[in-house]
Every structure is written in C-alpha cells, then in structure tokens.
Amino acid sequence: MSTVKDGAVTAPRLKTSAMIASFADPGQKTAPAPFGRALAALAETDPRIVGLSADLSKYTDMHVFAKAHPDRFFQVGMAEQLLFGAAAGMAETGLVPFASTYSVFAARRAYDFICLDIAEPNLNVNIVGGLPGLTTGYGPSHQATEDVAIFRGMPNLTIVDPCDSVDLEQAVPQLAAHAGPTYLRLLRGNVPTVLDEYDYTFELGRAKVVRPGNDVVFVSSGLMTMRALQAAEALAAHKVDVAVVHAPTLKPFDEATVLAELDTPRLAVTLENHTVVGGLFETVASALVRRGLTRRVVPIGLPDAFLDAGALPTLHDRYGLSKAAIVERVLEELR
Amino acid sequence: MTDNATAVRTDRVTAVRDAAYRIRHHVLDMGEVQGQGYVGQALGVADLLAVTYRDQLRYRADDPHWGERDRFLLSTGHYAIGLYAALAEAGVIPVEELETYGSDDSRLPMSGMASYTPGMEISGGSLGHGLAVAVGVALGLRLQANPARVFTFVSDGELDEGSTWEAAMGAHHHRLGNLIVMVDMNALQADGKTETVLGIEPAHDKWASFGWFTQRVDGNDVEALLDAFDRAAAHAAPEGTPSVILCDTRIGRGVPLLEQREKAHFMRIDEHEWQACRDQLTAGYAGSVNA
C-alpha cells in the first residue's frame, strides 16, 4: 500500500510481516508443505515412521503428517529437551522418528540431548529444523545462522541443506533409510520448485553439477543454490559463464565431486544461507587444504554477527544473499 | 475502608483502566501496521501491563537505565507489541514511534530485544529464558543492596520448558523475595490449546510446591490484579520467598470481534476490520466507564 504524504507518493514500507516469511520470488513455482507431504506419504508404506513436535507442528509442516497419521504423531509441548530425549527413546524401540522444531531450539537448546541420546548411540532419529539461516526477519532469537557450525562438530550426524521442494521430497525417504541420525534444514510452507528444470536427483551424501560453466564455479547449498542458479542466468547477460555445483549434504561432504570442480582456474565462490564461520565455506576450505590444493575461494554467506530484524528481502540484500548482491560481488571479483 | 482510602483505591482503579484502554488502542494501531501479529495476546495482557506500569513499577521514563528502577523482564519476546504499547503509555518511547513497529530499521522489532528498545531489559523470544535471567538480576541487585524489584513476565507455554522450573527452584533456594513473576495463563499455544499441547495444571500447586508465594487471579480483573500485586509487594523481603501471580487472561480481551477468533495465536486481521476493532474497544470502554 503506497501512501500519499505532502502530495508525494512514497514507496510502500517493507515490514517484517509474518515470522515465517516466504523467500520465494513473486510468481515463482512452489509446492505446499513438501516435507510434511513426503513424510505422510512415506508413512503409508513404512510403519516405523513417527512424528514429534515441540509446539511447532503447524510451523514445520509436521501438521500435515499429524493429520494423516494422528496415531503416530506425538505433541510433547514446548520442551525441546523432552522432544529429542523422547525421540531417542522411540528409536531405541525400533521406530524411525522425525522430530521437528525450529533450528535455533534444536541446535542451541537441545544439543546435549541430541548429542548424547541420539548421536552417540547412532540412532535413526531425524532432526527437522525450521527457519534455518536467514529465513525469518524476526531477529536473532529465531535466526539459526550458526546451526551448521554447531552441528558439524557432532560425530555420526548427517547434515542436509536442501534447495527446494524437489530436494525435500526426495530427501525424506533417504533420511529415513539412513541408519544414523540426520539433521534437515527445513524449508516450509510454499517452497520454491527449482531443480525440476535441471537433470537432477537428490542423493544423500552426493554433490551434483547442475549447471556447467567456464568462467566461474559456484558451490552452494540450501536455498542459495536457487539464488546461485538465478545469479548464473543474470551473469550470462554479462558474458560471464557460471557453473553451479549443488552440495545439499554438508556432512559427510562429497569432497570428490566438489574438489574436482574447484581444481580449475575458474573463480571459485561458495554460497550458503549460514554464517561464513563453520559452514559450507569452511567445509570446502578444509577439504582443499587436506588435498594440498591452493585455491582462493570467495565466501558468500552471512556475516559473523547477530543479524538485524526486518523484512526478509531487505535482509537478504543487506547481507549479500540476494541475486543482485551475488551478481555484483562476482562482477567485482572479475574486474 | 475510610473515605480517603476508598477514594485512593478508586483513583488507582480508574487510572489503571484508562491506561489499559490506551494500551489496547496502541496495540491495534501497531497491529494494523503489519496486518497481523500477536495482537490477541497483547490485548489479553493489557490490564496486567497497565497495573504493572501504571501502579506498581518504579521507573523514570526519561532515564530507562536509572539504577534503582524496578526491572520488568519480558521473557515472551513475541508479546513485544504489548510492551511497546505499555512503554508508550509510560512515556519511555514516543507514541508516534509506534507506527514504525516491525518495519525495517525500527527500534520496535516484532520480537522484543534489549539492544533495540529503551525499557526492554532482555532479549526474549527463545522461550524459557526470562526466569533464569531474572534470578541473576535479583541476586545481583540484592548483593549490591539495591532495593529494586524484579518483575518477570512469562507465559503458560513457558511452563513447558524445563529451564523455567530450574530457575523456579533456584529463586526459592536463594530466597529471592525481590522477585515477582506474572504468568499469562491464556491457555493457548502455537499448536493449540495449552491443555492439548502439554497439560500444566494444577499450575498453582506446582508453584506452591516449589516454595513460591503463589496467587491465581482473573488477569482481566483490574481490582483483583491490584490486590494480588499489593499482597505480593507486602510479602516481598530481601530474604523472603519469591512471588508468582498466575493470571487467567482472555485472548483478544476488550475487542469482541477478536475474542471470538478461532485462529488466535498469530492473528490475521483484514484491512477493513481494524477500525471495527477500535470502535468495539472504545464502545466497551465507554460502557464500563459509564456503568
């Protein structure tokens, strides 16, 4: 809504709006609640699947599963330690729990319970974290900008950062089939559908080259792969040919695929919806060093700071995650 | 009661009711900026905030960091819309600033944070933190012989969190008589009714068994709230037991249109409804004043 003040029309004021704002572009193809629907579908054929939530089922798409399988959904209340302790106990009895809350509460608050009750005995518990990285403008209480850094140190834990609805739908059965614990950086609500345009399937533990290119190579995970693909299109107009490597599994990391792509003279850039400390960039950097490869890598990610509250598009621009900011950064590097 | 005491009492009740009306009005104005939000909760606790800021708290509006101020810790960061309204009523932030609520670069973000807003003592939002911090503030103030009291606002949903009960044990163990907790018992959480999410009753017995001076009142009854806070204040002592007031409130209180909303946790209110909400609020208030 534009407002008229002193005869001049001012631009609409961007607002924080919903806590769980969508990062989909206007008019973009989306799929509703892909995680919840995939989990509900999987449970049709696998009686071991159970769902749990800590007073956030509606906000992690778990309510779709709860509605389809009410006898296999457990509401534990806003008690994250109970959530993961109980999920561990259920797994001990042979069930395959998916336990959902926001990423901040899983990573920061329930770490000890996930670590000792789930990861150490290597149980098949699937931790589902909503609002990963910068997917809410609600401020540091809800922005899980360091969840990957926290969880990467946990032995046995597989970490998946999906790009879109295709990734999510295909990941759910693979996470359930994987014997040990997993952490899924959940995208919820109307989730963009992006990777269907490419010859791509999700394989747990594998990175994929989704777009070839001669001048620049992007290594990205999560929703930043969507932005990487958009930026690659935009950079083509500047006669810059960009390859995009999507690495949705952050741990264990597909070093073979990623390092093969980085071992070239192209400008190398990592893109992640996470602080540049302890996430994809440092995963790539340590892999390079271990293999004795000397390469400069430009990190695009969130700063090592508590972020502002505000409207999501504003914040993605401010912190360099928007398509425009990526294009700008790459052109600057090539100058 | 003597005539004088009766007059004083009447003045207190009137002042609080007027303040609660203005707080509710501010909440609706702020809610309209976003078109949605935790409006229902804020309306529900407006009486509680009015009693606190109008009648109980010692503070200096022009000096939010005054050392001897009573602290008000908002553990439920998402109730910030209510606290901003109370801070405007208290003169700590200008009323005109409320229209920036939740906008980019505003001092009034949707979730309350200490670094953004004068008068906001802690950054809440991750629930179940407020009481633990309050224990530290209360210990620190007592150690420094500071007579200030620590008022802490938590929600019934936060009683789900183990951390709240750890803090409750700690507060009693350390005899924090300078700590007064108010719990918004609105019976609603993100996923639905509190009784279906995780049953917390009998809440009174739980707090009492933890050694707290425990009261339970109608959180929308100004006179009952005043009595409860007066009793808690009379009970306060540097080496006493902490106090808790469980306040049963009604979501959307004061605006019948919103009291009846089914989807009440995070309310969406259509553009054309805001004025109707304000009209209902004003009509109800006028009715109560004339009654």
Q: Name the helix (H) or strand (E) containing B89.
A: helix B80-89
Angle A99-B200-B150 (CA atoms, 0-180°, nearest 5)? 105
* % chain A with pLDDT above 90: 91
What pLDDT is recorded for position A312? 93
Q: Which of B36, B125, B197 sits opposite A18 (nearest CB)?
A: B36
Condensed to tens digits (0 to 9), the pLDDT of residues B82-117 reads: 999 999 999 999 999 999 999 999 999 999 999 999
Using an 8 Å Cβ cutoff, are A279 and A134 in contact? Answer: no
Chain A residues near residue B116 by CB distance under 8 angstroms: 309
Instruction: Tell me which DSSP letter residue A292 carries.
Output: T
Instruction: For residues A51 and A178, state if they share a domain.
Output: yes
Can you tell me the mean pLDDT for B20-42? 93
Chain B residues near residue A104 by CB distance under 8 angstroms: 126
Instruction: For residues A36 and A184, state if they share a domain.
Output: yes
Nearest CA in chain B to A62: B191
Q: Does B189 touch chain A (CB under 8 A)?
A: yes
What pLDDT is recorded for position A273? 98
Q: What band does B288 get if pLDDT is binned at 50, 70 and 90?
A: confident
Q: Name the helix (H) or strand (E) containing A111.
A: helix A111-113
Instruction: For residues A38 and A175, state if they share a domain.
Output: yes
User: Which two tokens mark A24?
Assistant: 């989909």
Can you tell me the mean pLDDT for B251-274? 89
What pLDDT is recorded for position B287? 86
Q: Does the structure show a pLDDT above 70 at B182?
A: yes
Q: Does B66 touch chain A (CB under 8 A)?
A: no
Q: What band does B262 get if pLDDT is binned at 50, 70 and 90?
A: confident
Instruction: For residues A133 and A211, state if they share a domain.
Output: no
Mean pLDDT, chain B, rounded, equals 94
Q: Does the structure show a pLDDT above 70 at A17?
A: no
Can you tell me the mean pLDDT for B28-56? 94
Contact A78 B110 (CB under 8 A): no
Nearest CA in chain B to A313: B104
Angle B37-B43-B44 (CA atoms, 0-180°, nearest 5)? 115
Q: Which of B109, B110, B191 sits opposite A75 (nearest CB)?
A: B191
CA pair distance A127, A107, nearest whole angstrom: 10
CA pair distance A310, A142, nearest whole angstrom: 12
Domains: count for chain A: 2
Cα A81 to its chain centre, rounded Å, is 23
Domain hosting residue A150, numbered range: 30-192
Mean pLDDT, chain A, rounded, equals 94
What pLDDT is recorded for position A5? 41
DSSP SS3 for A127: strand
User: Which two tokens mark A269?
Assistant: 């850039």
Chain A residues near residue B114 by CB distance under 8 angstroms: none
Question: Which residue out of B41, B78, B103, B265 would a mutagenesis test of the A interface target, given it has the greatest number of A Cβ atoms within 10 Å?
Answer: B103
Supply the angle between the helices A323-334 and A223-236 in degrees, to the nearest 10: 60
Give me the CATH number covering residue A328. Answer: 3.40.50.920
Condensed to tens digits (0 to 9), the pLDDT of residues A234-271 reads: 999 999 999 999 999 999 999 999 999 999 999 999 99
Chain A residues near residue B203 by CB distance under 8 angstroms: none
Contact A77 B123 (CB under 8 A): no
Domain closes at, from A192, A218, A239: A192
CA pair distance A14, A323, nearest whole angstrom: 18
DSSP SS3 for B151: strand
Q: Name the helix (H) or strand (E) containing A91.
A: helix A80-92
Nearest CA in chain A to B263: A58
What pLDDT is recorded for position B239? 87
Using an 8 Å Cβ cutoff, are B214 and B246 in contact? Answer: yes
User: How close does chain A come to B178, measured CA to CA in Å?
Assistant: 28
Chain A residues near residue B36 by CB distance under 8 angstroms: 17-18
For residue A266, tell me if it sits in a domain: yes
User: Which two tokens mark B113?
Assistant: 């944070």
User: How close does chain B come to A13, measured CA to CA in Å?
Assistant: 7
Find the chain A residues whose C-beta atoms sit closer than 8 A to any C-beta of B: 13-19, 53, 55-59, 63, 75-82, 104-105, 108-109, 137-142, 308-311, 314
pTM here is 0.89
Domain closes at, from A125, A160, A192: A192
Contact B197 A16 (CB under 8 A): no
Give me the CATH number covering residue A60. Answer: 3.40.50.970
Complex ipTM more than 0.90, yes or no: no
Condensed to tens digits (0 to 9), the pLDDT of residues A154-179 reads: 999 999 999 999 999 999 999 999 99
Using an 8 Å Cβ cutoff, are B257 and B24 in contact? Answer: no
Judge whether A203 counts as a catalytic residue. no
Condensed to tens digits (0 to 9), the pLDDT of residues A120-149 reads: 999 999 999 999 999 999 999 999 999 999
Instruction: For residues A164 and A211, state if they share a domain.
Output: no
CA pair distance B31, B28, nearest whole angstrom: 5
Domains and CATH numbers, chain B: 3-290 (3.40.50.970)
Facing residues of A249 across strands?
A160
